[in-house]
């Protein structure tokens, strides 16, 4: 059985930018379909805690910044994924400090030590 990769392999606009001119337009660059503007493929979260730059353009350098994006940084645009808004078109989710640190603790559990320590998968 394949190990879980912690991604849905789909493309979403998670509200990183409120307009697309001058920014990477994401999936739209491939399909030319305006509904794909600002959508990026959901990356695997396996080993995400070992990284030091996040999102397609590396704009965040800590998991705290990523969580703060989801908490209070989501920007509206025409293709924003509906899951990013609450009733009233509100994007802030008002996480407590405890909830933020719980989320980060969870992400840290996704480190795959067998994979990281496997010499067969290391540099030659």
Angstrom CA distances, 36 to 31, 69, 111, stand at: 7, 21, 31
- Binding status of residue 55 toward ligand HEM by CB under 6 A: yes
Q: Cβ distance 81 to 13 under 8 Å?
A: yes
Q: How far is the CB of 54 from ligand HEM (least distance, A)?
A: 4
Nearest to 66 by CA among 10, 124, 4, 15: 15
Q: How far is the CB of 107 from ligand HEM (least distance, A)?
A: 6
Q: How far from the centroid of its chain's Cα atoms is residue 90's Cα? A: 19
Scan residues 14-43 and list those touching ligand HEM (CB under 6 A).
14, 16, 40, 42-43
Scan residues 66-105 and list those touching ligand HEM (CB under 6 A).
66, 70, 81, 83, 103
- Binding status of residue 110 toward ligand HEM by CB under 6 A: no
Q: How far is the CB of 90 from ligand HEM (least distance, A)?
A: 15
- Binding status of residue 56 toward ligand HEM by CB under 6 A: yes
- Binding status of residue 51 toward ligand HEM by CB under 6 A: yes
Contacts of 124 (CB under 8 A, 6+ apart): none
């Amino acid at each position: 059985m394949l190990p879980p990769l912690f991604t849905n392999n789909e493309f979403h606009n998670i509200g990183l930018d409120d307009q697309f001119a001058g920014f990477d337009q994401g999936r739209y660059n491939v399909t030319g379909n305006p509904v794909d503007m600002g959508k990026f493929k959901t990356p695997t979260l396996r080993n995400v805690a070992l990284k030091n730059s996040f999102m397609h353009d590396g704009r965040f350098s800590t998991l705290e910044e990523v969580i703060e994006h989801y908490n209070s940084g989501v920007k509206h645009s025409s293709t924003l994924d509906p899951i990013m808004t609450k009733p009233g078109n509100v994007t802030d989710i008002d996480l407590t400090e405890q909830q933020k640190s719980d989320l980060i603790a969870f992400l840290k559990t996704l480190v795959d030590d067998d994979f990281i320590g496997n010499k067969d998968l290391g540099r030659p």
